[in-house]
């Protein structure tokens, strides 16, 4: 059994309440389980392949899942990249290998399944792109209409194409993501539409399976450090919860430090961590090439600040140039194609190693949250143009080898 609990005032709500924040104090809600009643079959856990629904006993739904086979993403050991950065053991968990090409699918398979369990008939979200793509496909699979609110002109085309092709009603808002989120919250409240942004605690339950899978893929051991980009700050919170639950259940016996990376032009969580402030100060005009994390007022920041501090982790910012350099390194040293936001994790790792905050002997997992094909706009900025040649072998030889006699 499980229920919802406010992280601020402790008020409790039924698992079937249609509620996103505490009705007493507006605090964020957590899904709380009675862990002593959950029996884990360790033999099954050790033999079955990782996937979101492998961990169904730790997920808040009973009904048959709306699934497109999400999770089970590769955990690559990245020796060439590790060497370049100067650490000994680096893994990259490539969440770009999910059905729509981002980690959001984990949250949506669980969130949409829960929404059906709750009897909801229309789904909505605001998005910098990936959330809308994920909601669009799970809405399509479930046969439920989807509405998405996007910041006009600031969503990568691959993501927009997914939302459109899978049949969502797409509204481009003349405003930024934070404006879109405030509006969709009002819309959902007024129209009894189910809100599937990460303020919805059930969505984060799906995303905590990233933590389960990392432990699972490392032989039920936990890395020293997990690094990932922060936007709305849901994922870092969710993954921390996943690691905590495995520890509570005795499946693992330690917790990683959680490190969140933001872009320099959009980094309220980093500023709060560095100053020791209890809350973030929202930024009105966030800006970065990594449009996925162009968010000035992350709704889950209170949960994220707790997760980072409790785990002994930290937060750091990186420049757009550092993000693009890391994107190139992932692509060319490891064959891992990611969108700019995802590369922030590796850019942050590089910076923290240089600063001496990460020790070279620590085992690090970087999470790359979205696939390269989501957002190819940076490619033209950092890669050479294709060479146009005449259709004869001489021209081709000349283009490849230079002047040929
Ligand atoms: C590739 O799609 O917020 O800190 O609306 O797409 O959990 O928000 C996307 C976020 C990192 C940040 N990497 O995760 C959206 C949206 C990628 C992302 C994040 C996002 P959170």
- 139: Cβ–Cβ under 8 A, 6 or more apart, which residues? 112, 123, 145, 146, 166, 167, 168
pLDDT attached to residue 77: 98
Share of the chain above pLDDT 70, in %: 100
Q: Is the pLDDT of residue 348 over 90?
A: yes
Mean pLDDT of 378-400: 95
Task: Write the pLDDT tens digit of every residue in 25-76.
Answer: 999 999 999 999 999 999 999 999 999 999 999 999 999 999 999 999 999 9
What is the distance between the alpha carbons of residues 277 and 275, in angstroms, rounded to a whole number? 5
Indicate which atom in ligand 1 lies nearest the CA of residue 95: 1
pLDDT attached to residue 405: 58
Q: Is the pLDDT of residue 404 over 90?
A: no
Q: Is the pLDDT of residue 197 over 90?
A: yes
Task: Write the pLDDT tens digit of every residue in 288-331.
Answer: 999 999 999 999 999 999 999 999 999 999 999 999 999 999 99
Residue of 134, 135, 369 with the most ligand 1 atoms within 8 Å of its CB, for mutation: 369
Q: How far is the CA of 165 from the centre of ligand 1 (A)?
A: 21
Task: Write the pLDDT tens digit of every residue in 146-157.
Answer: 999 999 999 999
Indicate which atom in ligand 1 lies nearest the CA of residue 198: 7
pLDDT attached to residue 1: 86
With a 6 Å cutoff on the Cβ, whether 260 touches ligand 1 is no
Q: How far is the CA of 37 from the centre of ligand 1 (A)?
A: 33
Mean pLDDT, the chain, rounded, equals: 97
Q: Is the pLDDT of residue 269 over 80?
A: yes
Q: How far is the CA of 71 from the centre of ligand 1 (A)?
A: 16
Task: Write the pLDDT tens digit of every residue in 81-106.
Answer: 999 999 999 999 999 999 999 999 99
pLDDT attached to residue 238: 98
What is the distance between the alpha carbons of residues 58 and 63, in angstroms, rounded to a whole number? 14
Residue bearing the CA closest to ligand 1, atom 5: 127
Distances (CA, A) of 133 to 31, 78, 125, 136: 25, 29, 10, 5
Whole-structure pTM value: 0.97
Contact 244, 255 (CB under 8 A): yes
Residue of 106, 168, 229, 261 with the most ligand 1 atoms within 8 Å of its CB, for mutation: 229
Indicate which atom in ligand 1 lies nearest the CA of residue 234: 7
Which H/E stretch holds residue 211?
helix 209-217
With a 6 Å cutoff on the Cβ, whether 99 touches ligand 1 is no
Residue with tokens 């980094």: 267
Contact 61, 113 (CB under 8 A): yes
Residue 247 tokens read as: 């520890």
Indicate which atom in ligand 1 lies nearest the CA of residue 232: 8
DSSP letters spanning 308-358: HHHHT-EEEEE-HHHHHHHHHHHHHHH---B-HHHHHHHHHHHHHHHTTSS
With a 6 Å cutoff on the Cβ, whether 345 touches ligand 1 is no
């Amino acid at each position: 059994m499980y229920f919802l609990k406010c992280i601020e005032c402790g008020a409790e709500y039924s698992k079937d309440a249609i509620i996103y924040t505490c009705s007493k104090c507006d605090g964020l809600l957590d899904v709380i389980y009675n862990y002593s009643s959950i029996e884990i079959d360790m033999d099954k856990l050790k033999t079955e392949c990782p996937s979101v629904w492998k961990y169904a006993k730790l997920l808040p739904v009973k009904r048959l899942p709306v699934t497109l086979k999400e999770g089970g993403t590769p955990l690559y050991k990245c020796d060439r990249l590790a060497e370049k950065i100067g650490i000994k053991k680096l893994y990259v968990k490539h969440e770009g290998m999910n059905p729509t090409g981002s980690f959001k699918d984990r949250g949506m398979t669980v969130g949409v399944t829960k929404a059906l369990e709750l009897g909801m008939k229309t789904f909505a979200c605001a998005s910098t792109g990936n959330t809308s793509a994920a909601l669009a496909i799970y809405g399509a699979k479930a046969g439920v209409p989807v509405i998405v609110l996007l910041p006009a002109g600031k969503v990568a085309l691959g993501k927009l194409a997914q939302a459109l092709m899978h049949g969502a009603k797409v509204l481009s808002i003349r405003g930024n993501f934070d404006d879109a989120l405030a509006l969709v919250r009002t819309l959902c409240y007024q129209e009894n539409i189910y809100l599937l942004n990460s303020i919805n605690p059930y969505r984060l339950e799906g995303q905590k399976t990233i933590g389960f899978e990392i432990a699972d893929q490392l032989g039920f051991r936990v890395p020293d450090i997990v690094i990932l980009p922060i936007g709305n700050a849901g994922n870092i919170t969710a993954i921390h919860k996943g690691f905590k639950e495995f520890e509570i259940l005795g499946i693992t016996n330690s917790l990683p430090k959680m490190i969140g990376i933001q872009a320099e032009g959009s980094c309220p969580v980093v500023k709060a961590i560095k100053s020791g402030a209890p809350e973030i100060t929202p930024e009105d005009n966030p800006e970065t090439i990594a449009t996925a994390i162009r968010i000035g007022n992350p709704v889950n920041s209170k949960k994220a600040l707790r997760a980072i501090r409790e785990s002994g982790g930290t937060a750091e910012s990186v420049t757009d140039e550092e993000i693009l350099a890391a994107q190139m390194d992932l692509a060319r040293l490891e064959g891992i194609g990611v969108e700019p936001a995802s590369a922030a994790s590796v850019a942050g790792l590089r910076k923290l190693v240089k600063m001496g905050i990460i020790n070279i002997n620590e085992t690090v997992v970087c999470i790359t949250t979205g696939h390269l094909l989501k957002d190819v706009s940076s490619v033209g900025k950092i890669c050479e143009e294709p060479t146009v040649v005449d259709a004869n072998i001489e021209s081709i030889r000349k283009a490849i080898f230079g002047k040929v006699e």
